[in-house]
């Protein structure tokens, strides 16, 4: 099976990483719970970014911490933040930028934990465009897409921001492209397949699925070091990305519940990153987010998706990277001024921060 060079470079998960992550985990709590605390947890249905929650449920880790998750399917962080205002979700999976933006607009939330700290976005160009290998190189591909339709999951979401940054960083005018919000990921794949969308932005492992399913080509892949060299701003913000965010009112009312939830997630990260558990992790992904039927070497694709995503997981976020995110989002005119990062981070989560 042909795999992206960036994937091939990350085939092995080092045992030392698992050991390092294990050091961040609080001592195990008692198995016997006086009661189970029910919490509402956002899920991006069928998307590997939910891996820690899936495994924590599959392995009984959340149960060990007396947490019973109620899974709430919400396809974007902005929609999840809107739902949280009415108590519709307690734990939101949000990237750094889509956390900062609503906070800058007055939404009272706290960053309570880290999920991963790499920047995992890429664009997939439709096979129907019949571009040459030269045209599919970044930044040439952006010129080739001029006048075409680019799809993102939701306007204002992180994918939208990175798709526009990718175009702008190539020296192109955003107004010369047609922008559409495709919603749930399968809609983006369908648009790419039938030609109603010419390119889509994706994250996590979605770009690998989209390329395998549609025959499209992954371009401007932020997971690739050669691409990052052309996008220094992306290099600067690497070290902070997906995080757990909760309404401040919920955190104040339930500090121990929040602490146990995050501890369970961190223990799960250590468990996932332990090489001896790799096959079990693959099994969970095959059940929750299987590679599409009909894709060549389907099982091999699932294995590669898991190998690629595991190395992105981390219970820590870089404070320096978060500062760079602050400046980046302001420079992109997505918020008027930097947010107070220290005030945004829950006191109980200060230990997750690294330089």
Nearest-angstrom CA–CA distance, 178 and 167:
12
User: Nearest-CA neighbor of 290 among 305, 275, 273?
Assistant: 305
> How large is the average pLDDT for residues 2-13?
39
Domain that holds residue 61: 5-118+238-354
Q: State the DSSP string of 238-299.
A: TT---EEEEEHHHHHH-HHHHHHHHHHHHHHHHHHHSGGGHHHHHHHHHHHSPPPTT-TTHH
Last residue of a domain, one of 221, 246, 262: 221
Q: 14-60 pLDDT, tens per residue?
A: 433 444 444 444 444 445 799 999 999 999 988 899 999 999 999 99
The share of the chain scoring above pLDDT 90, in percent, equals 78
Q: 64-81 pLDDT, tens per residue?
A: 999 999 999 998 899 999
Residues 243 and 173 in one domain: no
Residues 248 and 328 in one domain: yes
What pLDDT is stored for residue 31 in this prediction? 58
Which residues partner with 110 through β-bridges?
246
What pLDDT is stored for residue 167 in this prediction? 96
288 part of a folded domain: yes
- Is 157's pLDDT higher than 90? no
Residues 212 and 147 in one domain: yes
Token pair of 275 as six digits: 């090489």
307 part of a folded domain: yes
pLDDT tier at 226, thresholds 50, 70, 90: confident
| Angle between helix 77-85 and helix 96-104 axes, rounded to 10 deg | 40
- Using DSSP, state whether 138 is helix, strand or coil: coil
Residues 82 and 94 in one domain: yes
Whether omega before 146 lies within 30 degrees of 0, making that bond cis, reads no
> What domain count does the chain have?
2
What CATH number does residue 343 fall under? Answer: 3.40.190.10
Residues 125 and 95 in one domain: no
Q: What residues contact 279, with CB distance under 8 A and at least 6 apart?
A: none
Q: What is the mean pLDDT of the chain?
A: 90
Q: What residues contact 229, with CB distance under 8 A and at least 6 apart?
A: 235
Among 51-60, 195-204, 222-231, where is mean pLDDT lowest? 222-231
Residues 71 and 167 in one domain: no
Residues 108 and 245 in one domain: yes
Last residue of a domain, one of 195, 221, 247: 221
pLDDT tier at 6, thresholds 50, 70, 90: very low
231 part of a folded domain: no
Nearest-angstrom CA–CA distance, 196 and 314:
37
> How large is the average pLDDT for residues 114-143?
96
Last residue of a domain, one of 189, 221, 253: 221
The share of the chain scoring above pLDDT 70, in percent, equals 91
């Amino acid at each position: 099976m042909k795999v992206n060079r960036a994937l091939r470079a990350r085939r092995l998960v080092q045992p030392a990483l698992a050991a390092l992550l294990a050091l961040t985990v609080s001592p195990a709590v008692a198995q016997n719970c006086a009661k189970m605390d029910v919490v509402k947890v956002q899920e991006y249905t069928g998307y590997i970014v939910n891996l820690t929650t899936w495994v924590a449920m599959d392995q009984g880790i959340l149960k060990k911490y007396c947490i019973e998750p109620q899974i709430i399917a919400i396809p974007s962080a902005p929609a999840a933040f809107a739902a949280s205002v009415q108590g519709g979700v307690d734990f939101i999976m949000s990237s750094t930028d889509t956390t900062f933006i609503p906070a800058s607009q007055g939404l009272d939330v706290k960053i309570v934990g880290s999920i991963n700290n790499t920047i995992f976005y890429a664009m997939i160009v439709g096979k129907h465009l019949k571009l040459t290998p030269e045209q599919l190189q970044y930044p040439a591909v952006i010129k080739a897409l001029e006048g075409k339709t680019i799809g993102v999951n939701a306007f204002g979401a992180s994918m939208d921001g990175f798709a526009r940054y990718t175009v702008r960083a190539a020296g192109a005018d955003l107004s010369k492209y047609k922008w559409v919000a495709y919603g749930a990921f399968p809609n983006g794949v369908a648009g790419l397949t039938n030609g109603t969308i010419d390119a889509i932005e994706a994250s996590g492992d979605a770009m690998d699925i989209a390329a395998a399913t549609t025959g499209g080509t992954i371009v401007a892949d932020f997971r690739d070091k050669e691409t990052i060299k052309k996008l220094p701003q992306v290099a600067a913000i690497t070290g902070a990305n997906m995080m757990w965010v909760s309404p401040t009112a919920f955190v104040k009312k339930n500090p121990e519940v929040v602490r146990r939830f995050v501890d369970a997630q961190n223990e799960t990260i250590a468990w996932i990153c332990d090489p001896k558990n790799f096959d079990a992790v693959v099994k969970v992904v095959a059940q929750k987010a299987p590679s599409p039927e009909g894709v060549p070497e389907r099982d091999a694709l699932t294995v590669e998706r898991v190998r690629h995503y595991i190395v992105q997981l981390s219970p820590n976020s870089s404070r320096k990277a978060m500062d760079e995110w602050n400046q980046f989002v302001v420079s992109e005119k997505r918020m008027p001024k930097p947010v107070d990062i220290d005030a945004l981070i829950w006191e109980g989560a200060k230990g997750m921060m690294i330089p």
